[in-house]
Amino acid sequence: MSNTFWWILLICVLIFATYAAFVIKGEKEVALKDAIPFPFFGLEIPVPPWWTLTTNEDELKIFERTDTRYEWQSRFSFSREEYKDLQDAFEQLAIKNQLVFDKDTSIIHEPTSFKELLDQGIETLRVEGTATKAHELRVYYDAALLKVDDGIVILESESSVLNGLLEGPFFEQALHHIKKQK
């Protein structure tokens, strides 16, 4: 075969790779544009349309990806328990879920990362990172606790470590676009 064929093939592959990169880059914006507003204890949370509600109880909603085989779920729960503060509530949540976070890969976000909610009077705490669950399972865990009038809204995303890279950005996008219901 001539070099011309290989050059044409290389150019086609590069064009396809560039196109794929632009599509992937725009996925978060498309997900936000197509998101379904989900009301939960005075908040409106934008949920991507491919998240399927698999548990629908009063104080617990669980979303999963039913269109794929990878392990991921998001839990929206509500707690009326009394805690000293959101830090204490998160520590109790981590104990309940048997999570031990990796010190070098875990991030505790500043409350100012949720400036819009802070401006609406909603105190927040967010922790994300890799952890060991129940002494053996490696997970990617992302949680946001939001103090509302009569309790705490707990939003969690849990998956295998690699799958956290797939749904994690969409969960984070949902967190940053939460609104107080009017």
pLDDT of residue 28: 62
The predicted model gives 148-177 an average pLDDT of: 86
- CA torsion, ordered 76, 171, 63, 43, to nearest 10 deg: 40
Distance CA 173, CA 144 (A): 12
- 3-class secondary structure, 170: helix
Q: Give per-residue burial for 121-158: e unless 16+ CB within 10 Å, then b.
A: ebebbbbbbebeeeeeeebbbbbbbbbbeebbbbbbbb
The predicted-structure confidence for 136-159, as pLDDT tens digits, reads as follows 999 999 999 999 988 999 999 999
pTM of the model as a whole = 0.81
Strands 52-56 and 60-64, sheet pairing: antiparallel
pLDDT tops 80 at residue 103 = yes
pLDDT of residue 74: 93
The predicted-structure confidence for 35-85, as pLDDT tens digits, reads as follows 889 999 999 999 998 889 999 999 999 999 888 777 889 999 999 998 889
